[in-house]
């Protein structure tokens, strides 16, 4: 493990204005960064007795009147960021999230030390070196992505250096375990997650649904929002497979068993006049290619930058069958591209498409219900006017939010709350020691005054 010097990539150049547009209301060179702080869960102190009411209750008065003043909040901080896997060599929404987060923290004047996991250096000497590097950096706060191996190192270092610890819960591992290993491992994993997050001063979650899962498992009562974002430009591009006249359904993301992509086979069986494109890669790809071998399906592999923007812009409908998304980052990307979404009403997706926006910006269907899913896709494919109106509304909804605002929210509100909780816990730990010291030294002080 070693400190990583981050070189942030430049955004893709704007496409040529001569490119034809599937959506004429999207300017070809228009770019924006919709960043929505989703599912606000107000931070609450550890051990709150009313965890069932965490989503409705306001924060305690002391959190509203934290010791940190606005001047302190704007003061530059030194932030040690433990990220696993490395977002600087890993293609995913997770990568975009952390790269932009670091970029805007630095823009706000903070100094960020990024530390990424390296299996080749999993040695005791490397761990000692890592501890020395962080100690030399003298962080004001430590922020670690969870779950992962680095979280244990972040926890140890935070306790040794006596600094606040924030954890971001990004991967809902207990949901994935039965699909990849043995179901009996779910309970031990929850115990590990509880141990780690109860030791943190604040846990950030990407959606209300994930927050409820953590609370139901009694993991922690200290929850906050986690940023989500995507930078998207909007050129036009056909993934035609020789049939550009047919409507195109797209899926973007990892091709894994946990994404419920086999569900799309039943959906496409009911939509004989449509095509489907899978943009991404993963261990389930070979099985999917065989499954869709008799259908007009395209597998592009991993796309990035302008090619990915073009792939989004080529779709008529984006479908998200996964029921285990902590956020559903690609749903944000699709809506940012003006593509209406039909997604499973599960995980973090309903936070992106709330009840009052369903049918206006995108659709949700009952998980596993082929009739419900097909019905909503058919509504969009049969009406270009509805598709255009819903895509325009989705884009406008995403335009309300940007990376800078989401980063500022975490930096000024959530980090300040973590520091407040840390100070409170430290005071509780020191109170017995202070009581003993007062008892021991009060008689000596009294004798000194009398003499």
Residue 54 has a pLDDT of: 32
How many residues comprise the chain?
451
Q: Is pLDDT at 245 greater than 70 in this prediction?
A: yes
Q: Is pLDDT at 104 greater than 60 in this prediction?
A: yes
Confidence grade of residue 79 (pLDDT, cut at 50, 70, 90): very high
Residue 236 has a pLDDT of: 37
* More confident: 328 or 248: 248
Residue 85 has a pLDDT of: 59
Residue 22 has a pLDDT of: 56
Confidence grade of residue 275 (pLDDT, cut at 50, 70, 90): very high
Please, what is the end-to-end C-alpha distance for the chain in angstroms?
A: 60
| Average pLDDT over every residue of 79-91 | 66
Q: Is the dihedral of CA 355, 32, 211, 179 positive or negative?
A: positive
Rounded Cα gap, residues 198 and 217, in angstroms? 12
45-54, 115-124, 209-218: range with lowest mean pLDDT: 45-54
Rounded Cα gap, residues 127 and 115, in angstroms? 12
Residue 259 has a pLDDT of: 92
Q: Which domains does the chain carry?
A: 34-47+67-229+403-430 (3.40.50.2000), 237-399 (3.40.50.2000)
Residue 171 has a pLDDT of: 77
Residue 278 has a pLDDT of: 95
| Average pLDDT over every residue of 417-426 | 86
Residue 373 has a pLDDT of: 97
Rounded to 10 degrees, what is the CA torsion of 25, 30, 31, 36? Answer: -30
Residue 383 has a pLDDT of: 93
CB-CB contact of 402 with 33 (8 Å)? yes
Average pLDDT over the chain reads 74
| Average pLDDT over every residue of 196-204 | 87
Question: pLDDT tens digit string along 324-375?
Answer: 887 777 898 899 888 999 999 998 899 889 999 999 999 999 999 999 999 9
What separation in angstroms does the CA of 344 have from each of 172, 328, 339, 353, 395?
Answer: 16, 10, 16, 10, 20
Q: Is pLDDT at 180 greater than 70 in this prediction?
A: yes
Cβ contacts of residue 348 below 8 Å, gap of 6+? Answer: 38, 39, 206, 207, 208, 209, 210, 325, 326, 327, 328
Residue 231 has a pLDDT of: 36
Q: Is pLDDT at 64 greater than 60 in this prediction?
A: no
The separation between CA 222 and the C-alpha centre of its own chain, rounded to angstroms, equals 17
Rounded Cα gap, residues 182 and 198, in angstroms? 25
> Hunting for tokens 């609370």 — which residue is that?
215
- pTM comes to 0.56
Q: Is pLDDT at 410 greater than 90 in this prediction?
A: no
| Average pLDDT over every residue of 231-237 | 37
Q: What are phi and psi of 392, to 5 degrees?
A: -65, -45
Confidence grade of residue 269 (pLDDT, cut at 50, 70, 90): very high
Angle at 87 between CA 129 and CA 120, to 5 degrees: 40
Percentage of the residues of the chain whose pLDDT score is greater than 90 = 26
72-81, 125-134, 162-171: range with lowest mean pLDDT: 125-134
Confidence grade of residue 127 (pLDDT, cut at 50, 70, 90): low
* More confident: 89 or 233: 89
Among 314, 228, 293, which residue's Cα sits nearest to residue 36?
A: 228
| Average pLDDT over every residue of 178-184 | 79
């Amino acid at each position: 493990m070693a400190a990583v010097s981050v070189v942030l990539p430049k955004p893709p150049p704007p496409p040529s204005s001569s490119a034809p547009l599937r959506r004429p209301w999207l300017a070809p060179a228009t770019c924006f960064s919709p960043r929505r702080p989703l599912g606000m869960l107000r931070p609450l102190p550890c051990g709150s007795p009313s965890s069932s009411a965490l989503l409705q209750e306001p924060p305690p008065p002391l959190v509203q009147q934290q010791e940190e003043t606005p001047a302190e909040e704007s003061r530059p901080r030194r932030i040690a960021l433990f990220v696993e896997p490395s977002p600087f060599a890993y293609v995913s929404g997770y990568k975009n999230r952390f790269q932009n987060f670091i970029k805007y923290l630095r823009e706000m004047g903070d100094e960020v030390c990024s530390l990424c996991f390296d299996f080749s250096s999993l040695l005791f000497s490397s761990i000692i070196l890592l501890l020395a590097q962080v100690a030399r950096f003298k962080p004001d706060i430590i922020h670690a992505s969870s779950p992962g191996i680095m979280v244990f190192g972040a926890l140890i270092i935070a306790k040794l250096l006596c600094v606040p610890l924030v954890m971001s819960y990004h991967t809902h591992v207990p949901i994935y375990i039965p699909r990849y290993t043995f179901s009996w491992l779910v309970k031990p994993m929850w115990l590990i997650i509880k141990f780690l997050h109860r030791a943190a001063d604040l846990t950030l979650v990407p959606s209300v649904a994930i927050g409820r899962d953590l609370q139901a498992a009694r993991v922690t009562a200290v929850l906050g929002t986690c940023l989500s974002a995507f930078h998207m430009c909007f050129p036009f591009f056909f993934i035609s497979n020789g049939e550009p006249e047919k409507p195109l359904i797209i899926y973007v993301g990892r091709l894994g068993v946990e994404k419920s992509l086999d569900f799309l086979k039943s959906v496409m069986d009911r939509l004989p006049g449509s095509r489907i494109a899978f943009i991404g890669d993963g261990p389930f790809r070979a099985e999917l290619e065989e499954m869709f071998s008799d259908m007009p399906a395209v597998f592009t592999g991993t796309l990035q930058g302008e090619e990915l923007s073009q792939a989004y812009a080529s779709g008529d409908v984006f479908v998200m069958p996964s029921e285990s998304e902590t956020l559903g980052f690609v749903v944000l990307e699709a809506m940012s591209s003006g593509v209406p979404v039909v997604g499973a009403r599960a995980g973090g997706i309903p936070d992106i498409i709330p009840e009052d926006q369903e049918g206006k910006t995108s659709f949700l269907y009952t998980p596993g219900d082929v009739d419900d899913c097909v019905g909503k896709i058919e509504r969009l494919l049969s009406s270009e006017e509805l598709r255009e109106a819903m895509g325009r509304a989705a884009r406008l909804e995403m335009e309300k939010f940007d990376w800078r605002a989401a980063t500022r929210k975490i930096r000024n509100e959530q980090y300040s709350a973590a520091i407040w909780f840390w100070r409170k816990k430290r005071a509780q730990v020191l109170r017995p020691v202070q009581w003993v010291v007062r008892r021991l030294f009060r008689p000596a002080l009294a004798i000194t005054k009398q003499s």
